[in-house]
Structure 1
Amino acid sequence: MRFSAAPSVASRLAIAVASEPERAHASSGAMPAGAREDALRHLLQTAADAGCTTVATRPEGDNERLLGQAWPFPSPFTVTVRTVPLSDGLDRLEARARRSLERMGLPRGETLLVSNPADLAGVEGRALWDRLTALKTRGLYRKIGFCATVEDGPDLLARRFQPDVVQIPCNLLDQRAEQDGTLEALAAQGVEIHTAAPFVSGLLFMAGDVLPPEFADYAPALSRARRRLAEARIDPMQAALSYALNLPGVTSVIASVASAAELRAMLAAAHAPRPNIDWAALALPQAADLSRTMHGAGRSPLDDFSRISSAA
């Protein structure tokens, strides 16, 4: 009898290359010409060497093309791609999913996710899902699924469409997907669960005096969470990744990263022993309000692509 090895920590940590590459160079000004491409190659090679081989992308900006130019050869990476909004039209949505692979120089992708669950809940939801299913049948993507928050009812959507993958935020500050049974319900359906936004767009690392004004109401609760971690002598990055990586049923944790140095810091934190702490005590009581505030501020709780500050 053959036994398959348990997935390594690095293999379960997926990276989303930050859309603001200057984040890693904030103290030294804008990046010189060509430095962005070199930095991305270094980041990807660091990820490949560590065994961190899943890259999450979005169909906006120039990141997909830059990734296509920067893959190490031979490339060990698989990609997770998101759709454009259904409001662009079904034909445009399908064409852009194909175009994402072309821009990255890949014959096929690992996973294609509907970006907005409201697109599936609407009148064209079934037609949209049929388009994704056809792309999977043709071998362009191995898995299909959708992104959702707790408010979107991902369990019910999964029962209706039977996705391979659901991406959902669940982190130290917003633990609702674990506490209300959403993760358990998805796992019971055989769905592969990806959690997103482990760093809550950087809020976990920000002191109250530097919080953007729209998040000022959460400063006391954020301060309490940081104080609990400090008293337990636990680094916030270590705590965030340990919580996410140990969630039952979760197969992949997607974290935003802007540089090889940032990735090395994440990997070191992810490999650290799991802290002995009351995780539930770190959750924000106003997690639902925080999710709505992030949406209103243009910072999606579904990912850390645009983190407020660097965690490194």
Structure 2
Amino acid sequence: MIPNRAPSPVEKLALAVVHQPERATPAPAGAREDALRFLLQTAADAGVTVVATRPDGDGERLLGQAWPFPSPFRVTVRTVSIEEGVDRVEARARRSLERMGLPRGDTLLASRASDLVGAEGRALWDRMQALKDRGLFRRIGFCATVEDGPALLARRFQPDVVQLPCSLLDQRVHRTGVLDEIASLGVDLHGSSVFAGGLLFMSGDALPPEMAHHAPQLSRIRRRLAEARVDPMQATLAYTLSLPQVSAVIASAASAAEIRAVLAAAHAPAPALDWEKLQLEHPAAGAAGLRARISSAA
């Protein structure tokens, strides 16, 4: 069993703002900006201090217009693909800060581990290190999955931060010892995809095709939680927040109402559950399709 989470779970919560229209109530542009300000202020008032961003669409610019003042947030920025060239990666990282109105960011993450193992991987890392040395980012690191061999990459590049998918349904980074191995190197670990694309909140008919074969398992997991009188969101956050190796648990939210629900679930008493029995038996099956779905939604 995993030890109970820290007394103040919000200290480990990080926010990824979802800008997709399907997750937000339709509204005029001005109202959307006000809603984003309210979302960020709600998170700030609750003590959330980390915001994870992506260089997609108009999200960075919208955040730049909506930060509370003074902003309490440490911002994590992700690179664009190395396929665009190292110069473009650096220029876009700088542009991310400009779009958000920030003189510097907290963390710059290589978006894909595959960018670091390719022919230009070392050049990419050296360019990220140079941005850190110039004071534009306090820390650098990379995003990876369990299939990428993140512990080996961490030993090779010695990052400050590694971001890994980690959820109640897919506990592999915990069960295989990957979290322990990376944490032993003094690396900060951020858990992403903690809601696993919302699978626990979907009925069997609503599951994406690549995950449909998991419907019976998901039904059994939901039934176990219902019998224990534990909400799926509460269980999901309790599991990830209780992992001692993970310093930041990134939860996505599209509105102040959603972040309030996340905060309420995080503050709920930690349930006495056998976490190991609440994971999918073969989470790797369909993981690639699920990651693509999560990437497009959060």
Partner of 1:92: 88
Partner of 2:154: 158
CA shift at 1:220, angstroms? 0.7
SS in 2 for 1:256: strand
Distance 2:117 2:206 in 1: 38
Partner of 1:276: 272
- Where has structure 1 moved over 2 Å in runs of 4 or more? 30-33, 212-215
For the pair 1:17 / 2:17, whether they are aligned, the reply is yes
Partner of 2:33: 37
Distance 1:145 1:72 in 2: 27
Partner of 1:3: none
Partner of 2:3: none
- Structure 1 258/151 Cα, relative in aligned 2: closer, same or farther at 3 Å? same
Of 63, 68, 71, the residue aligned with 1:67 is: 63
- Identity within the alignment, %: 67
Partner of 1:147: 143
Of 130, 133, 147, the residue aligned with 1:134 is: 130
Distance 1:224 1:7 in 2: 30
Distance 2:231 2:223 in 1: 11
Distance 1:131 1:9 in 2: 35
For the pair 1:116 / 2:112, whether they are aligned, the reply is yes
Of 272, 293, 297, the residue aligned with 1:299 is: 293
Distance 2:19 2:199 in 1: 17
- Structure 1 99/233 Cα, relative in aligned 2: closer, same or farther at 3 Å? same
Distance 1:34 1:201 in 2: 29
Partner of 1:290: 286
- Structure 1 61/157 Cα, relative in aligned 2: closer, same or farther at 3 Å? same
Distance 1:87 1:63 in 2: 22
SS in 1 for 2:163: strand
Distance 1:212 1:116 in 2: 23
- 1:2-29 deviation line (CA, Å, top 9, x unaligned): xxxx78322311110013144132xxxx
Distance 1:15 1:220 in 2: 31
- Structure 1 residue identity aligned to 2:110: V
- With structure 2 as the length reference, what TM-score do the two structures score? 0.95
- Structure 2 residue identity aligned to 1:20: Q
SS in 1 for 2:27: coil
In 1, are the aligned partners of 2:210 and 2:286 still within 8 Å (CA)?
Answer: no
- Structure 1 7/187 Cα, relative in aligned 2: closer, same or farther at 3 Å? farther
Kindly report the root-mean-square deviation, in angstroms, between the aligned alpha carbons of the 2 structures. Answer: 1.4
SS in 1 for 2:251: strand
- 1:155-196 deviation line (CA, Å, top 9, x unaligned): 000000000000001111000000000000001111100001
- Structure 2 residue identity aligned to 1:212: P
In 1, are the aligned partners of 2:197 and 2:290 still within 8 Å (CA)?
Answer: no
Consecutive unaligned residues of structure 1, counting only runs of 5 or more, are: 1-5, 308-312
- 1:185-216 deviation line (CA, Å, top 9, x unaligned): 00111110000111101111111122233321
- Structure 2 residue identity aligned to 1:299: R
- Structure 1 58/81 Cα, relative in aligned 2: closer, same or farther at 3 Å? same
The aligned length equals 293
CA shift at 1:53, angstroms? 1.8
